[in-house]
């Protein structure tokens, strides 16, 4: 339909399955900011290493497996609290909930907000670890 009408459709969802089926490109938002954006197949796959930690958490925790459903297991959660949007802390808004080991989290993560930059063409990520050390980002 979008091709025949030459239109663009924006779908807002927490359902990764819906995003996979409908989207050509995906923007993942956290605390009102885009933290990752790129082709849906890259952002929503488990294979691309350049994932924002929030995107990684959504893919890891937000999609139940057949075993989870069959055994009625609760979904895992991303630990911590969403920041108060009226008083955002300095730095990366996800820093306090980031699943990276604190020893690997850089001081810069809580001091200055990273830009939404493209470590690879067509895929943008807002994460100091990816921007400064892309080869170590998922190690």
Extents of the domains making up the chain: 2-136
Task: Retrieve residue 124's tokens.
Answer: 């943008």
Given pLDDT bands bounded at 50, 70 and 90, which one contains residue 62? low
pLDDT number for residue 102? 55
Residues in contact with 86: Cβ distance below 8 Å, sequence separation at least 6, in sequence order: none
Superfamily for 2-136? Answer: P-loop containing nucleotide triphosphate hydrolases (3.40.50.300)
What is d(CA 23, CA 18) in angstroms, rounded to the nearest whole number?
8
pLDDT number for residue 63? 67
For residue range 78-126, list pLDDT tens digits in order.
888 889 999 998 999 999 888 655 556 778 899 999 999 887 889 999 9
């Amino acid at each position: 339909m979008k091709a025949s009408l030459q239109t663009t459709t924006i779908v807002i969802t927490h359902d990764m399955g819906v995003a996979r089926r409908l989207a050509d490109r995906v923007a993942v938002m956290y605390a009102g900011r885009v933290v990752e954006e790129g082709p849906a197949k890259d952002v929503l796959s488990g294979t691309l290493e350049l994932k924002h930690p929030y995107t990684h958490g959504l893919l890891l925790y937000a999609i139940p497996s057949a075993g989870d459903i069959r055994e009625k297991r609760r979904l895992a959660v991303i630990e911590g609290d969403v920041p108060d949007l009226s008083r955002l802390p300095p730095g990366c808004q996800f820093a306090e909930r980031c699943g990276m080991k604190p020893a690997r989290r850089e001081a810069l993560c809580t001091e200055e907000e990273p830009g939404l930059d493209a470590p690879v063409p067509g895929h943008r990520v807002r994460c100091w670890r990816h921007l400064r050390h892309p080869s170590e980002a998922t190690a």
